[in-house]
């Protein structure tokens, strides 16, 4: 019998949203959102990344990332660099790099708080189970 409260997809979604809200609150201390900080992370770790590539990594559509980058550019957090007529690469400004580094400390503490008391092999199993659930449902 299907019980919605026991549905793993529901539990994963509900808890994922709660964790995202907590991380958002923690990132607000430095004046950025969780999504902005995720963009900082990819911009820092993938030099020369394009808006389209960033959208893919963030799991969203390019127009959404364009609006995000417009706001971040206005706040002097990023710079767009024209690669050709249709493509912009994006990089962190000095101010953006500073916020990335401050956010990295917050993200690391958040991760450590979240996994406290959970053995590493349990985390490996958890990741495997989530991946397996997606794989199983994609095939149907």
Average pLDDT, the chain: 93
Average pLDDT rounded to a whole number, residues 24-42: 96
pLDDT at 88 over 90: no
pLDDT at 105 over 90: yes
pLDDT at 37 over 70: yes
**Please, where are the H alpha helices in the chain?**
8-27, 34-45, 51-58, 62-74, 94-115, 120-138
The confidence score (pLDDT) of residue 21 equals: 97
């Amino acid at each position: 019998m299907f019980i919605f409260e026991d549905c793993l997809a529901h539990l994963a979604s509900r808890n994922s949203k709660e964790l995202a809200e907590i991380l958002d609150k923690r990132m607000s201390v430095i004046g950025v959102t969780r999504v902005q900080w995720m963009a900082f992370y990819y911009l820092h770790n993938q030099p020369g990344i394009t808006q389209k590539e960033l959208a893919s990594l963030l799991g969203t559509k390019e127009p959404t990332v364009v609006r995000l980058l417009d706001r971040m550019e206005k706040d002097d957090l990023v710079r767009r660099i024209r690669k050709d007529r249709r493509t912009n690469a994006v990089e962190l400004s000095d101010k953006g790099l500073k916020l990335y580094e401050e956010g990295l400390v917050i993200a690391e503490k958040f991760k450590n708080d979240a996994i406290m008391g959970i053995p590493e092999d349990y985390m490996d199993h958890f990741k495997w189970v989530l991946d397996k659930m997606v794989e199983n449902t994609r095939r149907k």
